[in-house]
Amino acid sequence: MSEAAPYSAQEERAVRDAAARGETPACPRCGVAMSPREVGGGSFGLGYARRREWLICPSCRRSVLFDRRRGTRN
Ligand SMILES: [Zn+2]
Give the distance (Å) from ligand 1 centre to CA of residue 4.
Answer: 10
Average pLDDT (31-40) is: 85
Whole-number Å distance, alpha carbon 27 to ligand 1 midpoint, is: 5
CA of 16 to the centre of ligand 1 (A): 15
Task: Please give the distance, rounded to the nearest whole angstrom, from the Cα atom of residue 5 to the centre of ligand 1.
Answer: 11
- Is-above-0.75 flag for pTM? no
The reported pLDDT for the residue numbered 69 is: 63
| pLDDT category of residue 17 using cuts at 50, 70 and 90 | very high
Of 48, 41, 15, 44, nearest in space to 29 by CA: 15
Query: Does residue 1 surpass a pLDDT of 50?
Result: no
Q: Tell me the pLDDT tens digit for each residue of 55-67.
A: 999 999 999 987 7
Q: What is the pLDDT of residue 7?
A: 94
Higher-confidence residue of 38 and 6: namely: 6
